Amino acid sequence: MAKKLLLYNWLSLLRFKYVAFKFTFSAMLYIKRLTIVLGLVLTSVFGMQATAATVAAPGLAVAPAAVGTRDIVQEIINVIGLKPRFELLPADIDNAAAVVYNGKRYILYNERFLAAINNAVHTDWGGVSIIAHEIGHHLNGHTLSKSGSNPGDELEADEFSGFVLRKMGASLAEAQAAINLLSEERSSRTHPGRNYRLEAISKGWRSANEQVMASAKQPQPDQRAIARGQPQQQQMQSQQGQVQRASLDSRLVLSRVHFSKAPREEFYITTKLQLVHVTTDGIRIIGKLAKTNNPEFPYYFESNQLQPVFVTERGVLVNRRGEKVGYLA
């Protein structure tokens, strides 16, 4: 009971820290000390000893913080189709912030803070959502204003975060986890209350989900470019002779699978955890998603047609040598 009470007190201080770090330098120093201690407390409370996998997993060293092992900015930029006009940097601050310095935009973050959040919510989507929230401030033009934080801007950044995390493959609960932990129940002059923020994330997540589902229902367009110098009549004859690719009911799709060596091919994980390949000849089952006992590589593809491919807790596909060979989306 005492340990639960101690943890509750630390999490309450963390919520306060996330809102108040921008006000004064002295407050920043004070809360920073709490963050360091909190990271140690949460690690001891939530940390779990990894068990051996039933399938031999590749020897990759995974850092506790999401930013240390993923190019989060690039992943977010990939799903929204923009060029990164800002830089992600670890900094001596209390949590995370979107700032402009000498005309250049930055996302600054505290590595211990993100690690503590990930440990507390049991998923590194917590850290990703915080970075996505700060990128949302940049892309929505909030950092161009000198008025500071306000509830409207925070809700826009939250909605952007929910939208991006769905595109990246997070569940709604995973997209909301960090804000649910950090935000205050009541609204303030600078930040809306918890329920408003969770609803904004849900709005963005559901908007992206509708797009994903609609895209899965549509037949995939031909990806071949116009051949240079080819007469227009030959182009039309070529287009008329194209075979329509088979389609898969979106209600049966759990995730899209991208393999680096076959970027134009369509692979999916179905709701029955089957790995299927959609081609012009139809839909072929080429394997299935199976569990391991390794928390860093909780799944792998069991297939007679593929070399062993493991799925990290972040949805990255790696081979036995630990090399990235694709990702889930």
Q: Which two tokens stand for residue 243?
A: 């075979």
* DSSP 3-state of 295: coil
In this prediction, residues 82-101 reach a mean pLDDT of 85
**pLDDT the model gives residue 181:** 94
How large is the greatest C-alpha to C-alpha distance in the chain, in angstroms?
Answer: 80
Percentage of the chain exceeding pLDDT 70: 69
**pLDDT the model gives residue 264:** 87
Strand partners, 310: 300, 318
Render pLDDT for 184-214 as a digit per residue (tens, 0 to 9). 999 999 999 999 999 999 999 999 998 888 7
Residue at 308: amino acid letter: P
- Least trusted range by pLDDT, from 30-39, 90-99, 164-173, 228-237: 30-39
In this prediction, residues 22-51 reach a mean pLDDT of 38
**pLDDT the model gives residue 304:** 82
**pLDDT the model gives residue 279:** 86
* DSSP 3-state of 168: helix
**pLDDT the model gives residue 243:** 40
- Using an 8 Å Cβ cutoff, are 98 and 142 in contact? yes
pLDDT of residue 132 exceeding 50: yes
Please choose, from the candidates 193, 129, 125, the residue with its C-alpha nearest in 3D space to the C-alpha of residue 159. 129
- Using an 8 Å Cβ cutoff, are 69 and 306 in contact? no
Classify residue 110 as exposed, middle or buried by CB count within 10 Å of its CB (0-12, 13-18, 19+).
buried
**pLDDT the model gives residue 104:** 87
pLDDT of residue 292 exceeding 60: yes
> Residue 116 and residue 144: Cα distance in Å, rounded?
30
**pLDDT the model gives residue 317:** 92
Render pLDDT for 67-78 as a digit per residue (tens, 0 to 9). 444 677 788 888
Q: Is the pTM of this model over 0.85?
A: no
The helix or strand, by DSSP H or E, that contains position 203, with its residue range, turns out to be helix 194-217
- Least trusted range by pLDDT, from 7-11, 26-30, 93-97, 288-292: 26-30
- Using an 8 Å Cβ cutoff, are 231 and 190 in contact? no
- Least trusted range by pLDDT, from 7-16, 18-27, 72-81, 216-225: 18-27
Please choose, from the candidates 124, 173, 166, 163, the residue with its C-alpha nearest in 3D space to the C-alpha of residue 140. 163
- Least trusted range by pLDDT, from 23-27, 51-55, 292-296: 51-55
**pLDDT the model gives residue 233:** 53
* Spans of all domains in the chain: 2-47+61-211, 245-328
